[in-house]
Structure formats: C-alpha cells, structure tokens
Amino acid sequence: MRAIFALLAFSFSTAASSACYIIYTRSNEVIWQGSSPPVAMNTLYIDAEVQKKVPKGHMVILIGSPAPCPEIDLTVPRRTMRQAAAEMNNN
C-alpha cells in the first residue's frame, strides 16, 4: 500500500514540475508551443536562439502549470490546398 502511495505522489510531483515552452510572434500570437525546449537552453543567449527560430519573437516558460501544453508548430511553412491537390494528382 505504501508503494502505491509513493508511486502516486511521485507521478503528481513530476506532472506538477513539467514546463510548457511558448514562443510568441511580435504581435503576441502563439507560433510554437510544446513541453520540450524549442531552442538550445545551454547557452547564455537564449533570446538570440529564439530570434533564429522566430525573428522578433519572444519565449515564455510556464513551470508547474496545471494547464495542458499541446504541441503547436507554425514555424514551418504549411502546404496549401492547391499544393496538396497537385501532389495527389501526381501520384
């Protein structure tokens, strides 16, 4: 029984200590979000790394937030419907 309580306590403590990384554009729109760091965190110039990924963007790190942190990545160009249709016609 103690093992079960210890396991439950550990699972809640790790869930509470998770982080959510969010990168906003200059106009404060979410362009990247996830539970893993989007840039190298072992540098003194994290802002410069964020600027490489999203020019004029800024990053916010939420630590211990109970809210979910779904993955969003709008930094890569998305295909248009016309491009998808052309790919389907070529196959």
Q: Would you list the domain boundaries of the chain?
A: 18-90
What is the SS3 string spanning 7-42?
Answer: HHHHHHHHHHCCEEEEEECCCCCEEEEECCCCCCCC
Using the predicted structure, report yes or no on whether residue 66 has a pLDDT greater than 80: yes
Give the confidence band of 80 by pLDDT, cuts at 50, 70, 90.
confident
Give the confidence band of 17 by pLDDT, cuts at 50, 70, 90.
low
Give the confidence band of 2 by pLDDT, cuts at 50, 70, 90.
low
Q: Over the stretch 3-15, which tens digit does the pLDDT of each residue have? A: 444 444 444 444 4
What angle is formed at CA 37 by the lines to CA 27 and CA 17, rounded to 5 degrees?
105
Q: How far apart, in Å, are the Cα atoms of 62 and each of 7, 17, 44, 46, 82?
A: 25, 10, 19, 16, 38
Decide: pTM greater than 0.75.
Answer: no
User: Tokens standing for 38?
Assistant: 């989007």
